[in-house]
Amino acid sequence: MTLPKLAMDGKILEHCCIGPQMYRLLVHCPAIARQSRPGQFVQVRVERGQLLLRRPISLADADAAAGTLTLIYRVVGKGTAAMAGLQPGDTINCLGPLGHGFSCTAEKPLLVGGGMGIAPLLFLAKAFAGRASILMGGRSAEEMFWPGLYDKLVQDIFITTDDGSMGTKGFTVTLLPQLLQKGTFDQVFVCGPEIMMRCAARIASEAGIACEVSLEKRMACGLGACLSCSIDTTDGQRKKVCKDGPVFPAQEVF
Amino acid sequence: MEKNTRLATKLAGIAMASPVMTASGTFGFGEEFADFLDLSALGAVVVKGTTLKPRRGNDGVRITETPAGMLNCIGLENPGADAFLQEILPRIEKYHMNVIVNISGSTVEEYGQLAAMLDVPGVAAIELNVSCPNVKEGGIIFGTDPKAAAAVTAEAKRHTKKPVILKLSPNVTDIVQMAKAAEAAGADAISLINTLLGMAIDIRSQRPVLGNITGGLSGPCIKPVALRMVWQTAQAVQVPVIGMGGIASAEDAIEFLLAGASAVSIGTANFVDPGIAEKISTGIDTYLRERGIRNVAEIVGALKL
């Protein structure tokens, strides 16, 4: 079943800086919010500046009742820099919901997020209605505002930072083997830098636990037409991150 | 809305509801955009470039944004002609759109083979891609040498009863010479322009941004070049010209019509607004209605000098 996708102007309700170069945007897009699933994304059109293409941003939340989408993003280039200048009351055109999201059937899920990859897992944590735990990693305590956002959504929060300024010192996956060895998690959901997802997928595979990963690629249309975001699958096929993903079973892509 | 005939046009024998088409490589197989517009209201959908065998396309980064445009080096990723005929064509039949298949060969003979294979119900016409800048073999060479372009056109014509459209590359010294060669070889229409060959460098890594080093430039930044080439070509040939290159609004499209294009194709703008082709069609209709013009054909080539 494929629900219709929409392109619509949404009014920005809130827009705040929540970390170094990191922003949380709340936009009113009821028709998109109603259909959105964890792991999906929207393509936003930033009218400011001379930018042509839309920018794909993952959904950190979609609230069907309130008709809102939450986007959490880091300023990494011209598009996100222009987005950061938007004010409440401004409109932003959103195209979505796009892509194939996470499966939400696990009984005891472990979410694993690195850096901005922690953002889309918020929506997933909400869908698991308190059943999930999360392992999250970032560069330093300064950008680890995430525990406050996950507090009420998950059972346990495990934290790593590269510099050890919060939680365990090391990369996100440092804690993964021991968490999976405890044997209570039945599925792992990973979003973060590719190298970290590859590593997490290998650890999950060794532990015999199913794993889904959310990929990121440059894209133009977001609809499966332009083929900018093609990837190779392990069985030699070409797939599109925007349409067949961004979420894939780990063994399909790593 | 009551159907009017202001936009109805006939191009190379194909009845079109509108002079607005969508350009190959920017609109998938049409189905990807069905949520955003009425595909049957478009003049035609030129589907993704198809080759004899499946192609996996280029590796590495395939797109990058540029001022008022973008570079791409997809490299003709496509499932191949057999998969198109067996899986995709039957699937998109339900949209009742004019399907024009863009084909690419690495030899003259391959264009003939593809043209023959695609001479089937459900295909409205064949567009010869002789101008893809992103593949090593074939492609661009047929688009820069008038004799090679003529050979490819004649070969395709010999193998199909469908109208044959030749898509020209702007990466030539004399576009008119290319168009005349295609016309003389029997092309039923000429479409132009394909992308302009370009490049971008990441100064931090000191490496090319694109995996293929160079790529095709498209978007609003190429519109003046495209418009000039369409104008020059339309004056030089009798066959209809399909204009494209950076069209993002009805105003842009009308410029191309005035310059002599019988129809226009929307490319990169589809990525920005997936419903843009229909909006452009509506905008052209409004322009005609406000001026009491009964059919779009009346403004084709109506440029006053």
Mean pLDDT computed over every residue of chain B? 95
Tell whether the model's pLDDT for residue B47 goes beyond 50. yes
One-letter-per-residue 3-state SS of A132-178: CEEEEEECCHHHCCHHHHHCCCCCCEEEEECCCCCCEECCHHHHHHH
In this prediction, residue B201 has a pLDDT band, given cuts at 50, 70 and 90, of very high
Question: What is the pLDDT, as a whole number, of residue B41?
Answer: 96
Q: Which letter does DSSP use for residue A181 in this model?
A: H
Question: How many angstroms separate the CA atoms of B294 and B11, rounded?
Answer: 17
pLDDT of residue A103: 96
Task: Enumerate the residues of chain A whose CB falls inside 8 A of the CB of residue B270.
Answer: 221, 225
CA–CA separation, A26 and A10 (whole Å): 10
pLDDT in tens, B256-299: 999 999 999 999 999 999 999 999 999 999 999 999 999 999 99
Is the per-residue pLDDT at B2 higher than 60? no
The domain B9-299 is placed in CATH, from the list 3.90.79.10, 3.40.50.970, 3.40.50.720, 3.20.20.70, at 3.20.20.70
- What are the chain B neighbours of A7 within 8 Å (beta carbons)? 36, 273-275
- A118-136 per-position pLDDT tens digit: 999 999 999 999 999 999 9
* Among candidates A7, A50, A51 on the partner chain, residue whose Cβ is nearest the Cβ of B274: A7
Whether the pLDDT of residue A232 is over 90: the answer is: yes
pLDDT tens digits for range A44-94: 998 766 789 999 999 999 999 999 999 999 999 999 999 999 999 999 999
- Tell me what the mean pLDDT of segment B199-203 comes to: 97
From CA B263, how far away is CA B257, in angstroms rounded?
7
Neighbour-count burial of A12, counting CB atoms closer than 10 A to its CB (0-12 exposed, 13-18 middle, 19+ buried): middle
Q: Does the pLDDT of residue A242 top 90, yes or no?
A: yes
Judged against a pLDDT cut of 90, whether residue B4 lies above it is answered with: no
pLDDT tens-digit map of A2-22? 678 999 999 999 999 999 999
> Is the model's pLDDT at B133 over the cut of 70?
no
What is the model's pLDDT at position A49?
60
Percent of chain B, pLDDT > 70?
96
- Binning pLDDT at 50, 70 and 90, where does residue A195 land? very high
**ipTM value for the complex:** 0.92
Task: Identify the pLDDT of residue A112.
Answer: 97
Contact at 8 Å (CB) between B212 and B57?
A: no
Asked if A92 has any chain B CB less than 8 Å from its own CB, the reply is: no
Instruction: Please tell me the distance from the alpha carbon of residue A137 to that of residue A173, in angstroms, as a whole number.
Output: 8
Distance from CA of A225 to the nearest CA of B (A): 4
Q: State the pLDDT at residue A182.
A: 82
Question: Is A75 part of the contact surface with chain B (CB cutoff 8 Å)?
Answer: no
pLDDT value of position B142: 83
Q: What architecture is domain A109-253? A: 3-Layer(aba) Sandwich (3.40)
Mean pLDDT in residue range B165-188: 96
Tokens of B190: 């000429």
B32 CB near a chain A CB, below 8 Å? yes
Cα torsion at A159, A164, A168, A171 (round to 10°)?
80
Alpha-carbon dihedral sign for residues B59, B65, B70, B71: negative
Residue A47: per-residue pLDDT = 76
CB spacing of A224 vs B275 below 8 angstroms? no
Burial profile A228-246: b = 16 or more Cβ within 10 angstroms, e = fewer: bbbbeeeeeebbbbbbbbb
On whether any CB of chain A is under 8 Å from the CB of B49, the answer is no
Considering B37, B45, B132, B181, which one is annotated as catalytic?
A: B132
Query: How many residues are listed for chain A in this entry?
Result: 254
Instruction: For residue A105, give the nearest of A78, A83, A129, A137 by alpha carbon.
Output: A129
pLDDT of B218 > 70? The answer is yes
Residues 6+ apart with CB under 8 A from B99: B30, B44, B45, B47, B89, B92, B122, B123, B124
All structural domains of chain B with their residue ranges: 9-299
Residue of B nearest to A217 (CA): B61
CB contact under 8 A, A7 and B270: no
pLDDT 10s digits, B78-115:
999 999 999 999 999 999 999 999 999 988 999 999 99
Choosing among B22, B24, B33, B35, which should be mutated to test the A contact, i.e. which has the most A CBs within 10 A? B35
Residue A183, min C-alpha distance to chain B (Å): 38
Interacting residues of B216 by C-beta distance below 8 A, sequence separation 6+: B71, B72, B73, B132, B133, B134, B194, B195, B196, B197, B198
Find chain B residues with C-beta within 8 A of A51's C-beta: 65
Looking at residue B1, its pLDDT comes to 46
Q: What angle do CA B47, B59, B127 make, to 5 degrees?
A: 20
Give mean pLDDT, residues B156-168: 97
Q: Is B70 on the interface with A (CB under 8 A)?
A: yes
- Asked if the C-beta of B83 comes within 8 angstroms of chain A's C-beta atoms, the answer is no
Instruction: Please identify among residues 35-74 of chain A the ones whose CB lies closer than 8 Å to any CB of chain B.
Output: 45, 50-54
How near does any CA of chain B get to the CA of A220, in Å? 6
**In the prediction, which pLDDT does B135 show?**
60
Tell me if B271 and A221 make a contact (CB, 8 A cut-off): yes
Phi-psi domain of B60 (left: phi exceeds 0; alpha: psi -120 through 50; beta: other): left
Q: What is the fold, at CATH topology level, of the domain defined by A6-98?
A: Elongation Factor Tu (Ef-tu); domain 3 (2.40.30)
Residue with tokens 């930018």: A51
Q: Is B132 a catalytic residue?
A: yes
The domain segmentation of chain A, as residue ranges, is 6-98, 109-253
